[in-house]
Structure 1
Amino acid sequence: MDLEELLVEEKKSAEILRKKCIMLVKKEKSVKSSQKAAEDDLELVNREKQQKINELDVVVPLRLHQIMFVVNGSVPSDQSPALVLDMTELTRLQDRIKQLQEEKSQQKDLYIDARKQYVGLTHDRKDMKVKIEVLEKQCHELMMMKFGREVDLEALQTLSGNRRLEELKQEKLLREAAYAKEIKQWDAKVEEARDRLMEVTRCNTERVLCMTTLMDQNRELERKINASQRKMGNKSQDYRRGVDHVEIQRLQQLVKTESQQAEALRREIGLLSRKGGHVLPPAQARLPPITPLPNPTGRTKTSTQGPGRLLSQVKAPDSSRQGVN
């Protein structure tokens, strides 16, 4: 909370300072404008003051060696046309006089050069005039020899120029016609090429669509084949499991039956041995044959152990017992 209050106070102080800054900027602008107006007024006052001062008569004390206004070797009594100058200004004016004298000498040299050039150009003009007269005379003689009279060369040149222009225009028209014919031929070729391109594009599009359809059909067939293979594998596995389960139950029943028969034989043998009689093999019920079991390699195994072998194993101890008796 304290931090928020401090932040609010800082914002308020910043807003106050911003307002003060805006006010000070406005005051500065107004002060600058008033200062400029005051400076303009001051300059106007100074100008008027200087003008008034210049209108005043001022007495300037001078020494005799400072007076250089001399007429006929003496200082005139009326010195109203004289001008009072500072020594530095007088020195500057004297230097300027020297500069003007140098410029005058330079301009004089330039004038002499220009005069010489003018004289040379005048002689050249006279020579050219003589040459023009000679050439005009030769031209007149040639005209009389060729045409028998004087001909206006400018008109002749204009006519020849117009003839050349007409020839160029005619040539331009012929070339434009040839170019237009060639452009039509190229337009026809371009149109034919465009038609061929459209036909090829259409054929390619049909082929692409056909290929896409075939690929879709191929994928669908592969999917169906995979599904059928998975179903067949599941069915064969379920069938094998069912067959194995039935066979196991049958074998368990067979083992149980044989165990019961063996137990009955043991009881009978024990009973007969206690009575001291001979032990004969009892009448045995014929057991069902054992169905061969399928193994993973596809071969079948049959049990070679039958009831006869079991009885022989049971009789062996009885015969040994008779020998003892």
Structure 2
Amino acid sequence: MSEPIEDLIRPGWSVEPLGHNPFNAATGGIWRVRRDTGTAILKIAAPPRPPGNHPPHWATSDDPGHWNYWRREPLAYRSGLAATAYAPAGVRAPVLLDTVERGDGSVALWLEDVAGRPGMECSPEQLGDLGHRLGVAHAAWLGRSPGQGWLARDWLRAYTLSRPVPEPQRWDHPVAVRSWPAELRDGLRLLWERRHDVLAATDELPRTLSHHDVWPMNLIVAADGPVLFDWSFVGPGPIGEDAANLILDTFFDGLVGVDLLDEVVSAVLAGYQRGLAPAVDAEVVRRAVALCAAAKYFWLAPGMIGALARRDTDRSQHYDSRDDLSMFAGRRRVLELLMAWFRLALP
């Protein structure tokens, strides 16, 4: 539910709500506001709320190292980290116009309204260019950290292990059986069972500074290059994670046609390997992307089945608005890629 913003809006200004994850308690709403001098984006960072207002797995925290620390994005902008972290590689954040500490404890961010091509409309070549720039940026941060105490401590492990997956899983659920062949279901079940092994393997990968939420909904390609939004998860992470997420999350929610999957995989992986060279061997990069993909999404298939078992069929507030059968079938090719990467990374 969006926060009231009347105290931030002057007479004569117009407000347009923008889509975002309504379940994440850290975000109190996002709007495009037409002001006297043009448009700007208004985003509210909300402090922790009483239980029951949001799903428990999207709760925020006052702990600066928590994966969903509610002040991290305002701090990333105010410190300049969002603007400068990947700037040498030609990737920037929206310009911070102003911040307002509000009486209810929340923080209002006024951000540049970036003009350009939305990530959902980007070509495989443009996504490959972003992959290359991410590789260059990650190479520059290898083995070091900006040092701020509010960076996410262990985002990949903390986020994925917080996802709601009921036990035992119904791998024989009729929708799953109809949509996914037995070999795929067996592989997804094995991935879930080996989730701690997968996460442990990512700990051995070279470390860098990760955005942790690179996907088309957080991307606009402007005249001066890619602009990444939502810096609320930034922190140290293994190489490969941002590139893996860019590839898979481009398709999981049905926002981009899965017929482009092979082209996007090829373009992003080649670009990312090129960006990290010669600091990291190409085969190490390939395995890192595969391993991080498995680590980021080991929970997804059993979570999908669990939602069916809970009869959670309301998709009106999800990015993916397809019905259950269409969603399960539409994600099949992406999950098969995930399984191929899992077998490659952790035989």
Query: If you compute each CA radius of gyration, which structure gives the higher value, 1 or 2?
Result: 1
More strand by share: 2
Higher relative contact order (CA 8 A, sep 6+): 2
- TM-score of the superposed pair, with normalisation by structure 2: 0.11
- TM-score of the superposed pair, with normalisation by structure 1: 0.12
